[in-house]
């Protein structure tokens, strides 16, 4: 009888898979099937880490779908402030599987919920995505129509993308009681008075997290039968909990539920794979810290490593990317020859 | 009393030079010109009361046109900054891509999408419009002057183009906006945003004289250098104003300066 470990590949042993492995590339850590190519339309949603992956995927030559692209002539600071170019649509961060599931449902139903808007100082806020309109809207009609347009464009993304990369961060959310819908991030920052009456802080159970992830996959495949889903748990921690208990425990609980549910789904469904960003950034495998001094932000080195791991596993080489400002659209509308002629005519006469 | 007005700009100074040298030149304004075509003033900075550049090429271009390559800011009572990218075109570029719920042609998300545009919020549109205007050389020059002198600095954007320009593909947006009934909105939007950025920089702005404007987004041919159509054999110039335009604009500038002038105690 052969030893049961005889044919076990090296990545399955801690010593050969982690301790003695080339930890800059981690052979065998992420071997997705099928692999993406530059021809695939990739949609990205979720938390901050997927934004970094998208940037590197683009730089490596891959396509990231943008349903609400940044208009030309918008500087990078302004684009970022208004949520352009962050994800495949101007969703702002989506932290929980429940919020993503609801967004997909609303997009396919083109359903705008009137109770998910708030008013403060005469400004109207879309409580599902406060961060992408930090100054609010001028009037209710503008907020509602832009929400409607957003949902229509999102439905398009869900129907045409070849792959969705989804990075999930938390298993807690503020829930608006009338619709049962999750509020987006940034509501508190914009002003606690925006919170609807009787808003409830909900901590989702393991079963709910798993069910929401399953529903996301099902809803997508119902409308886009060939779509692949790549799920990751965002290593960026939750920065506060509004339920009893220490935030460290709340964070570990949420990440654990997400990690388990994502792994389960990937194991059960051939069209789902799990990208181990959380595993890499939050384990003993990282000799240097994966987080900056604020213990929230992933270091540039870790972000680069995640990008390299992702791109290399799909056969692309992650390129160095730069956050240099986009040049504004050229303003010179005049023909230089005509300009010179006009001046000479005036000043030489 | 005569106001010593230094006019800084690019090729859009030409109309003002023509007006200054004509028989009916404005009596109360003593005009001095400083600039050259395109971005010759980009390297100029105000230092110790002098407006000067370390770039010899820029200096040479300006010297070749106006005879000097440096300004003593104390020698003038006021400054007029003309053109240099300050125009309605950046607004055209914006509103041919995105739509506002305030536009007459926009009923909502569906009508905007049918026109091939996305909706954008008021805060975003205002911020991006200001961003486009302040990135122009005209604004930067006005800002630098405003920081360096207590004398008034007045900004005048370049004139709207001739309507025939809308036949060129790159300017089709103007005609589309006009045809959709959004010309007045875009025109007013441009003037409002220009006023905002000028106010924030502590400089004055003078809008294009109303009587020179054609269908909100264009300039009437009678106020353009090429008139109704280009001269035979000449290249068309749908961009630059003529002396008649400059005369009206200078009256507006004089009004703005007199409104700003301190009243007697």
Minimum Cα–Cα distance from A332: chain B residue: B85
A72 → closest Cβ in B14, B97, B161? B97
- Does A345 contact B at CB distance below 8 Å? yes
Residues of A in contact with B113 (CB under 8 A): 149, 152
Query: If you average pLDDT over every residue of chain A, what do you get?
Result: 90
pTM of the model: 0.91
Instruction: Answer yes or no: do B108 and A68 touch at CB < 8 A.
Output: no
Distance from CA of B16 to the nearest CA of A (A): 9
Minimum Cα–Cα distance from A142: chain B residue: B101
- Reference B155, options B172, B138, B176; nearest CA is B138
- Does B90 contact A at CB distance below 8 Å? yes
Instruction: Answer yes or no: do A339 and B11 touch at CB < 8 A.
Output: yes
Exposed e or buried b for every residue in A269-294, given b needs 16+ CB within 10 A?
A: eebbbbbbbbbbbbeebbeeebbeee
- Does B188 contact A at CB distance below 8 Å? no
B180 burial class (0-12, 13-18, 19+ CB within 10 angstroms)? middle
Judge whether A235 and A258 are in contact, CB under 8 Å: no
In chain B, the largest separation of any two C-alpha atoms, in whole Å, equals 60
Judge whether A192 and A186 are in contact, CB under 8 Å: no
Strand partners, B213: B219
For residue A142, give both structure tokens: 């503008």
DSSP A88-116: SSS-----SHHHHHHHHHHHHHT---GGG
C-alpha–C-alpha distance, residues B224 and A105, integer Å: 56
Residues of B in contact with A339 (CB under 8 A): 10-11, 37-38, 239-240
Whether A349 shows a pLDDT value over 70: the answer reads no
C-alpha–C-alpha distance, residues A286 and A275, integer Å: 17
Task: Report strand pairing: B78-82 vs B153-156.
Answer: parallel
pLDDT digit string, tens, across residues B182-201? 999 999 999 999 999 999 99
Can you say how many angstroms the Cα of residue B149 is from the centroid of all Cα atoms in its chain?
21
Please, which pLDDT band fits residue A152 given cuts at 50, 70 and 90? very high
C-alpha–C-alpha distance, residues B136 and B18, integer Å: 25
Judge whether A321 and A59 are in contact, CB under 8 Å: yes
A145 → closest Cβ in B10, B109, B237? B109
Taking the CA atoms of residue A194, residue A199, residue A201 and residue A206 in that order, the dihedral angle to the nearest 10 degrees is -120
Judge whether A142 and B121 are in contact, CB under 8 Å: yes
- Does A68 contact B at CB distance below 8 Å? yes
Q: What is the pLDDT of residue A322?
A: 41
C-alpha–C-alpha distance, residues B40 and B10, integer Å: 8
Instruction: Answer yes or no: do A337 and B239 touch at CB < 8 A.
Output: no
- Does B219 contact A at CB distance below 8 Å? no
Identify from A71, A110, A125 which residue to disrupt to test chain B contact, counting B C-beta atoms within 10 A and taking the largest count.
A71
C-alpha–C-alpha distance, residues A191 and B2, integer Å: 55
Whether A345 shows a pLDDT value over 60: the answer reads yes
Whether B265 shows a pLDDT value over 60: the answer reads no
Phi, psi of A63 (to 5 degrees): -100, 130
Whether B214 shows a pLDDT value over 50: the answer reads yes
Whether A6 shows a pLDDT value over 90: the answer reads no
pLDDT digit string, tens, across residues A60-104? 999 999 999 999 999 999 999 999 999 999 999 999 999 999 999
Distance from CA of A166 to the nearest CA of B (A): 25
Element (H, E) at A228: strand A228-233
pLDDT digit string, tens, across residues A277-296? 999 999 887 767 899 999 99
- Does B149 contact A at CB distance below 8 Å? no
Q: What is the pLDDT of residue A329?
A: 38
Distance from CA of B106 to the nearest CA of A (A): 11
Q: What is the pLDDT of residue A48?
A: 92
Judge whether A298 and A49 are in contact, CB under 8 Å: yes
The stretch B224-237 carries a mean pLDDT of 78
Residues of A in contact with B66 (CB under 8 A): 347
DSSP state of A19: I
Judge whether B48 and B71 are in contact, CB under 8 Å: no
Please, which pLDDT band fits residue A326 given cuts at 50, 70 and 90? very low
Look at A13-17, A244-248, A336-340, B171-175 and tell me which has the smallest mean pLDDT.
A336-340
Query: If you average pLDDT over every residue of chain B, what do you get?
Result: 93
C-alpha–C-alpha distance, residues B194 and B188, integer Å: 10
- Does B96 contact A at CB distance below 8 Å? no
Residues of A in contact with B93 (CB under 8 A): 72-73, 329
Instruction: Answer yes or no: do B87 and A333 touch at CB < 8 A.
Output: yes
Whether A209 shows a pLDDT value over 80: the answer reads yes
C-alpha–C-alpha distance, residues A158 and A219, integer Å: 9
- Does A130 contact B at CB distance below 8 Å? no
Strand partners, A164: A43, A229
C-alpha–C-alpha distance, residues B167 and B238, integer Å: 11
Task: Find all residues with CB under 8 Å of A113, minimum gap 6, and list them.
Answer: A106, A176, A179, A181
pLDDT digit string, tens, across residues B8-29? 999 999 999 999 987 777 778 9
Can you say how many angstroms the Cα of residue B258 is from the centroid of all Cα atoms in its chain?
20
For residue A239, give both structure tokens: 């920065």
Whether A242 shows a pLDDT value over 90: the answer reads no
Look at B72-86, B204-218, B223-237 and tell me which has the smallest mean pLDDT.
B223-237
The stretch B89-96 carries a mean pLDDT of 96
pLDDT digit string, tens, across residues B102-153? 999 999 999 999 999 999 999 999 999 999 999 999 999 999 999 999 999 9
C-alpha–C-alpha distance, residues A257 and A264, integer Å: 11
The stretch A149-172 carries a mean pLDDT of 97
A331 → closest Cβ in B17, B90, B121? B90
Instruction: Answer yes or no: do B14 and A345 touch at CB < 8 A.
Output: yes
Q: What is the pLDDT of residue B261?
A: 67
For residue B259, give both structure tokens: 């409104």
- Does A125 contact B at CB distance below 8 Å? no
Residues of B in contact with A72 (CB under 8 A): 93, 97
Phi, psi of A215 (to 5 degrees): -65, -40
- Does B239 contact A at CB distance below 8 Å? yes
Task: Find all residues with CB under 8 Å of A127, minimum gap 6, and list them.
Answer: A116, A117, A118, A176, A183, A184, A187, A194, A196
Whether B244 shows a pLDDT value over 60: the answer reads yes
Residues of A in contact with B235 (CB under 8 A): 335, 337-338, 341
Distance from CA of A74 to the nearest CA of B (A): 6
A73 → closest Cβ in B14, B37, B94? B94
Residues of B in contact with A80 (CB under 8 A): none
Please name the residue that has the structure tokens 């300006």: B62
Nearest 5°: the CA angle B44, B50, B55 is 30
The stretch B207-218 carries a mean pLDDT of 97
* Cβ atoms within 10 Å of B76's Cβ, excluding its own: 22
C-alpha–C-alpha distance, residues A50 and A301, integer Å: 15
Helices (H) and strands (E) in chain B, counts: 9, 12
Residues of B in contact with A333 (CB under 8 A): 87, 89, 161, 170-171, 239
**Distances A53 to A34, A100, A183, A274 between C-alpha atoms, Å:** 18, 19, 25, 14
Length of chain B: 265
pLDDT digit string, tens, across residues A22-36? 888 888 999 887 788
In chain A, the largest separation of any two C-alpha atoms, in whole Å, equals 104
Residue pairs between chains A and B whose CB atoms are closer than 8 Å: 133
**Distances A80 to A66, A68, B126, B176, B260 between C-alpha atoms, Å:** 14, 13, 16, 29, 39
Q: What is the pLDDT of residue A318?
A: 66
């Amino acid at each position: 009888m052969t030893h049961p470990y005889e044919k076990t590949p090296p990545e399955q042993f801690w010593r050969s898979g982690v301790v003695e492995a080339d930890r800059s590339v981690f052979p065998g850590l992420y071997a997705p099937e099928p692999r993406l190519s530059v021809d695939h339309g990739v949609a990205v949603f979720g938390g901050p880490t997927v934004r970094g992956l998208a940037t590197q995927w683009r730089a490596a030559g891959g396509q990231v779908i943008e349903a609400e692209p940044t208009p030309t002539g918008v500087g990078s600071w302004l684009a970022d402030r208004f949520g352009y170019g962050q994800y495949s649509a101007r969703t702002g961060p989506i932290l929980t599987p429940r919020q993503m599931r609801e967004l997909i449902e609303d997009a396919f139903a083109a359903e705008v919920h009137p109770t998910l808007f708030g008013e403060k100082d005469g400004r109207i806020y879309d409580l599902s995505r406060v961060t992408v309109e930090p100054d609010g809207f001028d009037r209710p009609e503008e907020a509602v129509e832009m929400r409607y347009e957003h949902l229509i464009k999102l439905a398009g993304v869900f129907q045409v993308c070849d792959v969705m990369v989804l990075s999930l961060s938390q298993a807690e959310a503020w829930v608006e009681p009338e619709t049962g819908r999750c509020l987006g991030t940034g509501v508190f920052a914009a002003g606690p008075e925006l919170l609807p009456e009787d808003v409830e802080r909900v901590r989702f159970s393991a079963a709910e997290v798993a069910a929401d992830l399953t529903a996301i996959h099902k809803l997508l495949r119902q409308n886009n039968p060939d779509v692949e889903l790549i799920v990751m748990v965002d290593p960026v921690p939750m920065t506060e909990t509004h339920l009893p208990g220490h935030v460290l425990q709340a964070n570990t609980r949420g990440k654990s539920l997400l990690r388990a549910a994502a792994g389960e789904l990937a194991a059960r469904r051939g069209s789902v794979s799990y990208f181990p960003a959380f595993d890499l950034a939050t384990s003993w495998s990282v000799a240097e810290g994966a987080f900056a001094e604020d213990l929230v932000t992933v270091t540039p080195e870790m972000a680069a490593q995640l990008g390299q791991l992702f791109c290399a596993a799909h056969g692309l080489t992650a390129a160095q990317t730069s956050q240099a400002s986009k040049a504004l659209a050229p303003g010179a509308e005049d023909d230089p020859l005509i300009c010179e002629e006009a001046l000479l005519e005036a000043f030489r006469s | 009393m005569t106001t010593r007005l230094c006019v800084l700009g690019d090729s859009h100074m030409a109309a003002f030079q023509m007006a200054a040298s004509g028989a009916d030149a404005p009596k109360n304004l003593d005009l001095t010109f400083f600039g050259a075509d395109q971005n010759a003033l980009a390297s100029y900075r105000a230092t110790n009361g002098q407006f000067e550049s370390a770039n010899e090429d820029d200096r040479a271009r300006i010297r070749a046109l106006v005879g000097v390559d440096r300004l003593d800011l104390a020698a003038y009572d006021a400054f007029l900054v003309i053109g240099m990218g300050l125009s309605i075109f950046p607004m055209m570029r914006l509103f041919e891509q995105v739509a506002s719920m305030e536009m007459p042609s926009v009923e909502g998300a569906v009508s905007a999408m049918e026109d091939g545009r996305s909706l954008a919020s008021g805060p975003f549109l205002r911020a991006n419009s200001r961003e486009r205007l302040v990135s122009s050389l005209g604004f930067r020059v006005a800002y630098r002057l405003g920081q360096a002198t207590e004398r008034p600095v007045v900004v005048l954007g370049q004139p709207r183009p001739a309507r025939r320009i809308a036949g060129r593909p790159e300017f089709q947006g103007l005609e589309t906006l006009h045809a959709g009934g959004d010309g007045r909105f875009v025109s007013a939007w441009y003037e409002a945003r220009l006023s905002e950025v000028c106010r924030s920089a502590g400089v004055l702005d003078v809008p294009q004289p109303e009587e020179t404007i054609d269908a909100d987004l264009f300039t009437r041919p009678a106020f353009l250098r090429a008139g109704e159509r280009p001269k035979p054999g000449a290249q068309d110039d749908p961009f630059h104003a003529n002396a008649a335009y400059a005369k009206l604009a200078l009256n507006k500038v004089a009004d703005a300066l007199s409104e700003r002038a301190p009243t007697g105690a």
